[in-house]
C-alpha cells in the first residue's frame, strides 16, 4: 500500500474512533410551578431538538432576574446518548416531599422564581429563557405556567420519564387552596368524575376520580393546617 493510501486509512480510523462530544445548549424551559410562599417550586426543562449528548451541565446555572437566586448544576449527567427530547426536573425539597411528586433530578433553593414577574435564564444561551409578567405563575397550588403562556394542572416530569401532579396547599384534598376542605373542593371532585390521567382531584393517584377520592375528601372535611 502506498504511503498516501496509508495516511488515508489512518485518517478514516481516527474519524470513526473519535468520541461524540457532549454539549448543553439545547435545554429549554418548559413548565414552572410555585405555591404562594415559594417553598414549593419546580422548574422543568426539555431538550428541544433531539440531540443525544446534551449532558455537560456541570458549572452551568439557572438564574432568576427578579430574585437574584441562582442554581448551579453540580455535575454533568451521568450518561451518554441519552438526552434526546428528555426532561430535567428541578424542584425544592418541599416539592419533592409532596405526594405524587416525581423525584427531582436536582434540588433547588426555595423562592428561586418570582411568581409576579420574572425572567429565568439558563446559563448564557440566548435562546434558553422564560419570562412572564402580571402574576402569570398561578399560586393556588395546582396549576403551572407553561412555556407557551398557557396554564393548567401541573405535570412535572423528570429525566427518567416519571411524571405526576401535586397539590401544594395545606392538604391534598384542599383542591382550591383556600385552607379549607369543603363544598368547593367537593364540586371539583364531582366535575372531574371518571378517568382523568393527571388531575389533582384523583387523591389516591389511581388514574380516575371515583368514590375512593370522594371518601378521602369527606374524611378530611373542614379547616386544614
pLDDT in tens, 21-80: 689 999 999 999 999 889 999 999 999 999 999 999 999 999 999 999 999 999 999 999
Task: Classify domain 180-223 at the CATH superfamily level.
Answer: Dockerin domain (1.10.1330.10)
Q: What is the mean pLDDT of residues 98-115?
A: 95
The overall average pLDDT reported for the chain is 89
- β-pair partners for 122: 62
Q: Provide the grid cell at 33.
A: 410551578
Please tell me what DSSP assigns to residue 47.
Answer: E
pLDDT in tens, 170-181: 777 888 878 889
The answer to whether residue 122 scores a pLDDT higher than 80 is: yes
Altogether, the residues listed in the chain come to a count of 225
- The CB density around residue 141, as the number of other CB atoms within 10 Å, is 24
Top CATH class, 27-153: mainly beta
Map out the domains of the chain as residue ranges: 27-153, 180-223
CA distances from 63 to 21, 81, 104, 123, 153 (A): 26, 27, 18, 7, 25
DSSP 108-130: --TT-S-SSSEEEEETT-TT-EE
Sign, CA dihedral 208-209-212-217, equals positive
Residue 4 has pLDDT above 60, yes or no: no
**Percent of the chain at pLDDT exceeding 70:** 90
Q: Nearest CA to 142 among 196, 194, 72, 87?
A: 196
Amino acid at each position: 500500500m502506498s504511503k498516501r493510501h496509508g495516511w488515508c486509512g489512518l485518517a478514516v480510523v481516527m474519524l470513526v474512533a473519535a468520541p461524540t462530544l457532549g454539549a448543553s445548549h439545547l435545554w429549554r424551559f418548559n413548565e414552572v410551578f410555585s405555591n404562594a410562599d415559594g417553598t414549593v417550586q419546580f422548574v422543568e426543562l426539555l431538550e428541544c431538538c433531539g440531540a443525544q449528548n446534551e449532558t455537560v451541565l456541570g458549572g452551568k446555572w439557572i438564574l432568576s432576574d427578579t430574585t437574584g437566586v441562582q442554581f448551579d448544576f453540580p455535575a454533568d449527567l451521568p450518561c451518554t446518548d441519552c438526552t434526546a427530547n428528555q426532561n430535567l426536573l428541578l424542584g425544592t425539597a418541599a416539592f419533592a416531599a409532596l405526594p405524587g411528586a416525581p423525584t427531582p433530578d436536582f434540588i433547588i433553593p426555595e423562592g428561586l422564581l418570582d411568581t409576579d414577574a420574572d425572567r429565568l435564564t439558563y446559563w448564557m444561551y440566548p435562546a434558553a429563557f422564560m419570562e412572564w409578567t402580571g402574576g402569570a405563575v398561578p399560586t393556588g397550588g395546582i396549576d403551572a405556567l407553561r412555556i407557551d403562556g398557557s396554564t393548567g394542572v401541573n405535570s412535572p416530569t423528570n429525566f427518567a420519564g416519571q411524571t405526576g401532579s401535586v397539590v401544594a396547599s395545606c392538604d391534598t384534598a384542599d383542591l382550591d387552596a383556600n385552607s379549607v376542605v369543603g363544598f368547593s373542593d367537593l364540586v371539583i371532585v364531582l366535575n372531574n368524575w371518571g378517568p382523568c390521567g393527571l388531575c389533582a382531584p384523583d387523591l389516591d393517584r389511581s388514574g380516575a376520580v371515583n368514590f375512593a377520592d370522594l371518601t378521602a375528601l369527606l374524611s378530611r372535611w373542614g379547616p386544614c393546617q
